[in-house]
Chains A and B, each alone.
Chain A
Amino acid sequence: MATHPGVIVRTFSGLKKDPLGMTGFVLVSLILLFTVFAAWLAPYDPLEVDVYDRLSSPSAAHWLGTDQLGRDVLSRVLFGGQVALKVSLVAISASLSIGLVLGMMAGFGPRWLDRILVVSFDTVRSFPTIMFALAIIALTGPSLNTVIVVIILTSIPVYARVVRTQTQALRERDFILAERAMGASTLRILRDHVLPNIAAPLLILASMDVPSVVGMEAGLSFLGLGVSPPTPSWGSILNDGYSYLRNSPWPIIAGGLPLIAVTLGFTFFGESLRDIFDPKLRRKDQ
């Protein structure tokens, strides 16, 4: 995307007028800071077992208490964030790129190709995501990479459909015809003229997609289909904690809060970005 002079200025002046957006921005920044610097911030090794200090309540030594094996929950939450972030970063950038290419092919290519692609997008989307994930994991065995592959496969159609619609709307525009008349190749038109026009909505969509990807990873890890123990993930922290819910609610609370923070943070921030850069997409009821 051509750097608009003042993209950052515009973002911040927009955020100033939008308290929810600002909250989202602060939450997102905090989450990023905490997870990126988890190794320095975590008070303990997240895998260190201390059988004498199991399921303890928050204290000066363990701010969020310990789990059933006496591991420090705060450290596990911080390192669990790295898993969540890695999954969302890899999965979203991969599905965004693949979806972009497929969506442009469907939107700009011949009609038969469009038909085939749309049918395959709809086919993938017609499976309930968790069922689809279970089926694939049953075939390949649980691992974080499988989770990433499943998320990529199910998110590609989401991006591809948005790209397809936007590309179709653009292909009939005069400036695209003008480019053709001036001898631009299809690749050049797509790369230099269509892409900058759809980049903004696409990036906003991606930022609002983070919570669902993080939630999906947590969900699969909760079911024991994601990361393998003892690696901490927000989902596995919840799974470890929920059998001991009556004795100690702290692991559940500690595993759940960051999920809520991610969801609220990225949603508020994404909506605010959308309002700033693409007011046309704003919902009518607002």
Chain B
Amino acid sequence: MNEPVLNIQDLSVSYQTERGPLQALRHVSLAVPEGKIIGIVGESGCGKSTLIASIIRLLAPNARIGTGAINFKGRDLLTLSPEAMRSLRGSGISMVFQDPMTSLNPVLTIGRQMADVQHRSRASRTEKRARALMMLERVGIPDSASQLRRYPHTLSGGMRQRVAIAMALMTEPSLLIADEPTTALDATLEVQIIHCLQQLQREFGCSILFISHHLGVIAELCDEVIVMYAGEVVESGTTREVFLEPRHPYTQKLLECDPARIRHRTRQLPVIEGSLPNLVELPRGCIFRGRCVQSIARCDTERPALSGGQHKSACHLLDTAS
């Protein structure tokens, strides 16, 4: 197999707070192979956003990177100079944001913003315009010439997200980070955007790191899935493996709670009892122990390591079973 485009190893990030360091990410390792779509799934506060911010190095000022390395095409992003990092953003790594209502500048036309994204290119204004037009057509925006003169507020949410995707892919990045790009859209649009992304990924051959808490979208779109919980990777594998034979109790619970899987009428939707542990004062042992129905004595004392071949998970139960 080829060298992965993005390879994160043992990444730990904490936020300095008044109560002490909040350990938002702990020993996270993951790889995004070339030309694959990798999904990251997990509930709010599991560290998805911190992970993205670490990759593009736009962390909040109170964040500290403890250990680890983020390897992007052979270069460690964490040791890159700010200048080198900035020139990589938008050219090597691009990003699509969650809410298309707020991620476009309200006072500039679409055309102006799409030309602006190409600020590194020496092409003339007409060439940039032509490229913008071509990109708009590729993301499936009809009558793209007239759209260039329009302002973001005159477009629908789905259209705006298409524009945002077009802008992100304009520079033909090797890696596209999509931060819940469909969460703010309704279900029909969600499907359209997913198909659009899938098609574009095939055409451009880029890798996509797709963050979502919508399991259905992940199952539909992604080649591999990484399940995160409270700042740790608890399970990873191909989409098929993770969805059909979830190993970690958290993944199992998460899948049980997916409303799409509920087969019979119920007054109460299933939930995972309990809440996220306090990341300032981490409990000893397994991070999921407080909410896990299958926990054993060993879970209280020892932190399970992520283990297994292709399909990895971090749970003591698997050691005892095998």
Contacts and interface: CB of A to CB of B under 8 A. Distances in A.
Bound pair: A and B? Answer: yes
Interface residues of A, number: 20
Nearest to A180: B58
- Give the one of A1, A177, A179, A181 with max B CB within 10 A: A181
A193 B108 CA distance: 8
A177 B97 contact: yes
Binding site of A, secondary structure by majority: helix, strand, loop or mixed?
Answer: helix
A183 B88 CA distance: 7
Interface residues of B, number: 29
A181 B168 CA distance: 10
Contacts, number: 64
Contact of A177 (B58, B87, B168): B58
Nearest to A198: B107
A267 B88 CA distance: 49
Nearest to B88: A183
B56 A197 contact: no
A197 B102 CA distance: 14
B99 A174 contact: yes
A127 interface: no
B217 interface: no
A183 B106 CA distance: 19
A175 B106 CA distance: 9
Contacts of B102: 173-175
Contact of A196 (B56, B87, B107, B164): B107
A173 B112 CA distance: 19
Contact of A2 (B103, B107, B117): B107
B270 to A, nearest CB: 33
Binding site of B, secondary structure by majority: helix, strand, loop or mixed?
Answer: loop
B86 A181 contact: no
Contact of A181 (B56, B106, B107): B56
B160 to A, nearest CB: 11
Nearest to B56: A181
Contacts of B56: 181
B95 A181 contact: yes
A181 B89 contact: yes
Nearest to B93: A181
Interface string A181-198: 111110010001100110
Contacts of B103: 174-175, 177-178
B94 interface: yes
- Give the one of A178, A179, A185 with max B CB within 10 A: A178
Interface in B81-140: 86-91, 94-95, 97, 99, 102-109, 112, 116-117, 119-120
A185 B90 contact: no
Given A182-B168, A197-B105, A197-B107, A2 B112 contact: yes
A138 to B, nearest CB: 45
B106 A197 contact: yes
Contact of B90 (A177, A184, A193, A196): A184
B167 interface: yes
Nearest to A196: B107
5 contacts: A177-B58, A178-B164, A181-B90, A184-B90, A197-B105
Interface of A: 1-2, 5, 173-175, 177-185, 188, 192-193, 196-197
Interface of B: 56, 58, 86-91, 94-95, 97, 99, 102-109, 112, 116-117, 119-120, 149, 164, 167-168
Which 5 residue pairs of A and B lie closest in terms of their CB atoms, listed nearest first?
A: A183-B90, A182-B90, A183-B89, A174-B102, A181-B95
